[in-house]
Each structure stands twice: as structure tokens, then as C-alpha cells.
Amino acid sequence: QSASNVTATYHYYNPQKISWDLNAASAYCATWDANRPLAWRRRYGWTAFCGAVGPQDQAACSRCLRVTNSGSGTQATVRIEDKCRNGGLDLDVNVFNKLDKNRNGNARAYTQLVKEADGISEKMYCVDKLATYIGSIVSEVVNFGGGPEPKVTIGRLKEVEETI
């Protein structure tokens, strides 16, 4: 499986302001994840996922995505807790800002999708199409006053076997 030019925007989940309550965030995955322990819900930042390749809807819930800005080395791991319509990712604004610290609008990075097993070491073979993103992220930080949202473009998608 492969995909290119996957886009990620940001969303104001701000889970720290709503006590990590997926129901309060109206997150799609709340049906399955809202009653998980608080420590589990706050372990990673949140994202919506709607990539062309990989699990969709409920099958994507609870999966994790590790994003590393290769230009700065900045990393963030996010948990898929929502779905979107932009064809890629809709990162929590806090995660987006963490990855684009310098706000230079042209951050190069790579992204890996991994499955989180609640602290249990587990091997995931990407036949389930969660896959690994390898490529570049380009942030286009634009005018916040009514213009298009800042975007992050993720390069190609490649399946791999990942041990976590």
C-alpha cells in the first residue's frame, strides 16, 4: 500500500482543558475509548485520522501515530481518537505546535504509525494497513484570520513491520 501528499491540519481538541474527556470533545472514538482509564486517555496527544490507506473509522480508534520533525528532531506520539474528512490527519493544536516550534512553515519530517498495546510489548505486522509513513511533512503556517488552516503534508506511505 502506498499514498502520497497526505495532509494534516490542526484541531482545537485541547484535551487538557476538558479533563481528557472524549465525550466532551465529541470525538468519534468516544464510544469505544471514553471509559478507558484517565492515564490511558492522556498518555498521548489526540488526532483524527482519515488517510487513504489504513484502518478507517472504529478500526483506527486507539491506534497511535509517531510524528518526528527530522529538521529539528521534535517528536510527538498521538492517539487516533477521531475521524476527519481532509484525507489525512487532524492533529490536536498542541501537537501541531510542538512539531512546528520554529513556525518556519517548511519543516521536514517523517511520520511512523504504530499500534499501542497499553504497555504490553507487541509486534504489529501492517497487513492491517496501519502501515508506516515515511516521507516529509511540510507545514504551511498561514494567516489565522480567516485564511485556510495551517497544514502539514505527509509524504508517501509504506508498509513495514514494527515492534513496540
3-state helix, strand, coil in the chain (%, to 5): 15, 30, 55
For residues 33 and 82, the answer to whether their CB atoms sit within 8 Å is: no
Report pTM: 0.63
Whether the per-residue pLDDT at 4 is higher than 70: the answer is no
The domain 6-163 is placed in CATH, from the list 3.90.25.10, 2.40.40.10, 3.40.50.510, 2.40.50.110, at 2.40.40.10
Tell me the domain boundaries of the chain: 6-163
| 57-109 per-position pLDDT tens digit | 898 898 887 665 555 667 778 888 999 887 777 889 898 788 777 665 433 33
